[in-house]
């Protein structure tokens, strides 16, 4: 009941209201299957029982009411009617399957969206402290597994269980011995098989997922670090690592496939065992082979439907156990409180200064109860391994401030606090005497900021979409776009491209040079019309002439707009010569 409660809790409320419909489709599927079984039994009875009219009042009633002239014509009519019923049964089953399939895909989509929103709401510290491939796997594969490997098998078990129970009840009205035989033969075998594989499938599912995530990590790292791998001659090492992962994944996937496939063979053995038992018990009781024909026929038709049902129940149960770990994973991930996000485009008024007041900050593990990714602390309420301790800073509007210091001294961390991406453990970020302490205020403040890093984020879209980042392509202001391109000195680049601003930049801007990528960052800031520009080692990977060009371009922006506030991180003192002052961390 605990796992069922957790599953129910993971299903969005909008989908919970559709569960009665899913149960109804399950019952309809069961009824349709039973109609099909009844049709097959009808054919069996009229073929195997030579005295079917005398022994079956329903057949006799239909025979007389429809005015059949011979038993042969009646049998042909029954066969045609059964054929039509089976065809209609197939059509209805497909339609009901589509209803269930659409429900499962919508459930996957809704749950995946919730996971996506949940992760993005948990702050930069959370994202940085988890591997990208793990988060992607949780959002995509785990949510898909929940819909198709947990909920769908449970609905399948319910459907097949209804079919089996109703079929056994109806068969008991025909001949209780058929039901007794089916229960005695099939149920123990199914229970023993389920008990044997249950734990193994659960363990196998967890290991399969772990190995799949590991393979994604290896592939991601190999593609991202291709140049380093090639230069270092590390391709054999990476290839061998990938091959070992594939071999382990193959082993566990094959193991799962064999356990699923074995269910049909176990049930097939049960069927043969049942037939043998009927013959042996019947002959031992003194019955002739002829007298066993109808009994065996009915048992065979019942088994024709019961065997697949039990096989699917066992298979669905195995699949559920294989994916049960997903329920715990998603329950844990989604139990984190989601901080409300603001999508406002309004900007926070900024007229005088930005201040940090008595800031404490440390990189500890991100606690589950911290909606903004604030760090942990020790028992005294003081963060461990402080990067900033009672740190205060004031930056006046229109200032050009350089930040320098050795690696690990907190330059990028300072930028992340100033940009309201990190929330201090103590102290506050204040803009014009207004503390930035709510999601709405953080969003309004960030609307003022443009952030250009050394590794500028450039998605694989057009130059225009990269510069007007966050704006749909059909809503880009092209006059504003071309002004930003001209000011960032990208005009020659764009003019020389076959598709101009519609040229695709490639993954991570791979079709652009380092200087061109940084100029796109500047153009992005200009298009946004940001009042605060933050450059985080934006020129450190460039050659000296290109670095000077970028710095001159930034300085030119300040000369053109004296209200523009510029913060610039660099290890090179010459790069910061255009600044009004330089802060050493």
pLDDT, position 380: 47
Distance (Å, whole) CA 26 – CA 96: 8
pLDDT, position 299: 65
Longest Cα–Cα distance of the chain, Å, equals 110
Under 8 Å between Cβ of 140 and 113: no
pLDDT, position 58: 72
Q: If you average pLDDT over every residue of the chain, what do you get?
A: 79
DSSP helix/strand/coil, 471: coil
Under 8 Å between Cβ of 551 and 575: yes
- pLDDT tens-digit readout, 57-84: 677 777 778 877 787 787 788 788 888 8
pLDDT, position 581: 93
DSSP helix/strand/coil, 344: coil
- pLDDT tens-digit readout, 322-342: 888 889 889 988 887 766 666
pLDDT, position 565: 93
Under 8 Å between Cβ of 322 and 201: yes
pLDDT, position 298: 64
Domains within the chain, CATH numbers bracketed: 2-333 (1.20.1560.10), 353-584 (3.40.50.300)
DSSP helix/strand/coil, 88: helix
> What 3 state SS string does 109-161 have?
HHHHHHHHHHHHCCHHHHHHCCCHHHHHHHHHHHHHHHHHHHHHHHHHHHHHH
DSSP helix/strand/coil, 81: helix
What does residue 264 show for φ and ψ, rounded to 5 degrees? -65, -35
Q: What does the buried/exposed string (b/e) look like for 332-358 if buried means 16 or more CB atoms within 10 Å of the residue's CB?
A: ebeebeebeebeeeebbebeebbbbbe
pLDDT, position 378: 45
pLDDT, position 371: 40
Q: Does the reported pTM lie above 0.75?
A: no
Angle between helix axes 293-334 and 71-120 (nearest 10 degrees) is: 10
pLDDT, position 292: 63
Pick out the chain residues at pLDDT < 50.
Answer: 365-381
Sequence length of the chain is: 585
Under 8 Å between Cβ of 315 and 263: yes
Q: What tokens were used for 541?
A: 């990977």
pLDDT, position 379: 43
Give the DSSP letter of residue 470: T
């Amino acid at each position: 009941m605990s796992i069922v409660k957790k599953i129910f809790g993971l299903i969005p409320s909008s989908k919970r209201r559709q569960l009665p419909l899913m149960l109804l489709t399950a019952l309809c599927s069961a009824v349709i299957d039973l109609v099909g079984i009844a049709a097959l039994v009808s054919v069996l009875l009229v073929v195997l029982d030579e005295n079917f009219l005398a022994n079956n009042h329903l057949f006799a009633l239909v025979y007389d009411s429809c005015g059949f002239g011979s038993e042969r014509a009646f049998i042909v009519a029954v066969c045609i009617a059964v054929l039509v019923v089976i065809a209609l049964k197939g059509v209805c089953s497909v339609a009901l399957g589509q209803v269930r399939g659409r429900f499962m895909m919508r459930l996957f989509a809704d749950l995946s969206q919730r996971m996506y929103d949940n992760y993005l709401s948990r702050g930069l510290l959370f994202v940085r402290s988890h591997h990208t491939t793990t988060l992607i796997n949780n959002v995509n594969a785990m949510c898909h597994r929940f819909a198709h490997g947990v909920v769908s098998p449970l609905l399948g078990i319910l459907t097949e269980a209804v079919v089996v129970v109703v079929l056994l009840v109806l068969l008991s009205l025909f001949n209780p011995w058929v039901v007794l035989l089916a229960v005695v033969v099939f149920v123990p075998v199914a229970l023993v098989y389920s008990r044997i594989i249950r734990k193994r499938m659960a363990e196998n599912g967890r290991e399969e997922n772990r190995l799949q995530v590991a393979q994604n990590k290896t592939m991601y790292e190999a593609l991202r670090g291709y140049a380093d791998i090639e230069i270092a001659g590390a391709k054999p090492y990476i290839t061998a690592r990938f091959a070992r992962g594939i071999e382990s994944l193959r082993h566990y996937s094959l193991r799962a496939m064999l356990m699923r496939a074995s269910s049909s063979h176990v049930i097939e053995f049960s069927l043969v065992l049942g037939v043998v038992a009927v013959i042996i018990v019947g002959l031992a009781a003194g019955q002739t082979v002829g007298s066993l024909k109808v009994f065996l026929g009915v048992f065979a038709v019942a088994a024709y439907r019961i065997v697949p049902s039990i096989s699917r129940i066992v298979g669905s149960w195995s699949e559920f156990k294989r994916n049960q770990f997903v329920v715990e994973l998603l329950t844990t991930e989604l139990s984190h409180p989601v901080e409300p996000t603001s999508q406002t485009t309004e900007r926070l008024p900024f007229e005088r200064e930005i201040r940090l007041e008595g800031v404490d900050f440390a990189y500890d593990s991100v606690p589950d109860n911290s909606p903004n990714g604030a760090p942990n602390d020790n028992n005294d309420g003081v963060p461990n391994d402080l990067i900033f301790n009672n740190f205060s800073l004031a930056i006046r509007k229109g200032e050009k401030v350089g930040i320098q210091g050795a690696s690990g001294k907190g330059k990028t961390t300072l930028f992340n606090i100033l940009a309201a991406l990190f929330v201090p453990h103590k102290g506050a970020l204040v803009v014009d005497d207004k503390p930035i302490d709510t999601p709405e205020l953080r969003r309004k403040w960030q609307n003022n900021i443009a952030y250009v890093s050394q590794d500028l984020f450039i998605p694989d879209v057009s130059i225009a979409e990269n510069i007007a980042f966050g704006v749909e392509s059909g809503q880009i202001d092209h006059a504003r776009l071309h002004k930003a391109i001209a000011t960032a000195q990208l005009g020659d680049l764009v003019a020389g491209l076959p598709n101009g601003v519609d040229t695709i930049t490639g993954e991570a801007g791979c079709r652009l040079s380092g200087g061109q990528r940084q100029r796109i960052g500047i153009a992005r800031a200009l298009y946004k019309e940001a009042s605060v520009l933050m450059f985080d080692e934006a020129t450190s990977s460039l050659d000296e002439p290109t670095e000077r060009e970028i710095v001159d371009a930034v300085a030119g922006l300040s000369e053109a707009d004296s209200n523009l506030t510029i913060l610039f991180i660099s290890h090179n003192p010459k790069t910061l010569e255009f600044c009004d002052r330089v802060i050493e961390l």
